[in-house]
Structure 1
Amino acid sequence: MRRTEECELTVLCMLRDGNKVLMQDRVGKSWAGYTFPGGHIEAGESVVDAVVREMREETGLTVLDPRICGVKQFPLKDGDYAGGRYIVFLFEATKYSGELISSDEGEMHWVDISEIDGLPTVDDFGELMEVMSGKDLSEFMYVVENGEWRVIKK
C-alpha cells in the first residue's frame, strides 16, 4: 500500500470580532459566494505562517492568534494532482491588527453571525461552520463511492 500521495495544501480562517465574522464574497468561477478568506500554503511554509500571510494578503489584517479548529479534504480528480487530495486547514482567530482591505479574490465584509443564513454562501459553507464552530467535529471530507460524492463528518 502506498503511504504518500500528491496534495494541494490550503488554509481558511474565521476571524471573529464579537458577534461578527469576516467573510469574503468570492468572485471566482469555482467556489463562488461568501466564505472565509484563505489560500494556498507555499512550499516550505508552515501552516500557521500561511494563514497569517494569506489573511494579510486578502484582508490587510494580521491575525495574532490563529488556532487550528478543523480540516476539510477531498479527492482531486483533474489536473496536476489527479489521484491525490486537496487539504484545507481550518483556523479561527479573535485578535488582529491593521486596516481592512479587499483583494481581487473578493470583497471583504464583517457579517453578523445571525445574518449568514441569508447570504449566498459557497456550496459547503454549512459543513465548514459545523466543523469550525462546533465542539463535536474536527473534520469533514468528501469521498467518491460508486461515482457519487459523499460527505463524511468526524
Structure 2
Amino acid sequence: MYDVVNYKIWTVCMIQDGDKVLLLDRQHDHFKGFIPPGGQVDFPESIVEGAIREVREETGLEVENLVYKGLYEYVNPVANDRYMIFNYLTKDFTGELLDNPPEGKLVWAPIEDCLNLPMQQSIRRRFPLFFEEGTFEIQVTWDDANNREGEVRIRRT
C-alpha cells in the first residue's frame, strides 16, 4: 500500500507563568503569527530533549518538568509524509529572555486574550487543549490536490 513513509518530528512547549504564556510573534516565512516555542527534533535526540533545546534556542529559558499534552499530526497520503508535533506544557523555567530572539519577538500574553491574537489555525485549534485536563490527539489529513487541510479528527483522553 505505502512504500516509504517520511516522518518529521517537531515539538511545541507552552510556557505558563500564572495567567500568562510566552509566545513568539513570528513574522517570517509562511508560518506567521503568535506561536509557542518549538521546532524540529534533531536525530538522535529524544523528543523531550528536542523540546528543551528548542525553548533554549528560541527564548533563552531553561525549562523542566514538561507535561505531555498531546499529539498534533499532519498526514499526507499522496506524498507519504507524516508530520508529528509533540505538545508540552511547563510552569517550571529559569533564565532570562533573549534580547534578539531568532524566531520573533517574545511576548508574555494573558491566556484569556491569546485566541484574539493572529495565529495559525493549527495553533488556534489546540491552544485551549493545553489548559484542559488530560491529553489530546489531533490528526489532519492534508488535501494535496488543493494544498490545504482536509479532514480534521480531534480526540481527547
TM-score where L is the length of structure 2: 0.85
1:66 maps to 66
**CA RMSD of superposed structures (Å):** 2.3
CA distance in 2, matches of 1:55, 1:86: 19
What is residue 107 of structure 1 aligned with on the other side?
105
C-alpha deviation, 1:3, in angstroms: 9.2
Whole-angstrom distance in 1 between the partners of 2:97 and 2:34: 17
Where structure 1 has 5 or more consecutive residues not aligned to the other structure, the ranges are: none
Of 97, 118, 121, the residue aligned with 2:119 is 121
Report the counterpart of residue 8 of structure 1 in structure 2.
8
Aligned residues: 151
TM superposition shift of 1:26: 1.1
- Which amino acid in structure 2 is aligned with residue 131 of structure 1? L
Distance 1:146 1:2 in 2: 16
Cα distance in 2 for residues equivalent to 1:31 and 1:152: 22
Moved over 4 A (4+): 1-4, 144-148
2:152 is the alignment partner of 1:151: yes
Q: Secondary structure at the match of 2:105?
A: strand
Structure 2 regions of 5+ residues with no counterpart? none
What's 1:24 paired with? 24
Contact persistence 1:137–1:153 (CA under 8 A): no
2-side partners of 1:146 and 1:57: how far apart? Answer: 32
State the shift of 1:53 in Å. Answer: 0.5
Select 1:90's aligned residue among 87, 90, 98. 87
Measured against aligned partners, the alpha-carbon deviations of 1:29-70 in whole angstroms (never above 9, x if no partner) come to 222100111011001101111111000000000002111110
Aligned partner letter, 2:153: I
Q: Quick check: 1:75–1:85 contact (8 Å CA) kept in 2?
A: yes
Give the TM-score taking structure 1 as reference length. Answer: 0.87
Pairwise CA distance, 1:145: 6.7
When residues 139 and 131 of structure 1 are mapped into structure 2, their CA distance, relative to the original with a 3 A threshold, is farther
1:7 and 1:63 mapped to 2: Cα distance?
A: 26
1:27 positional shift: 1.8
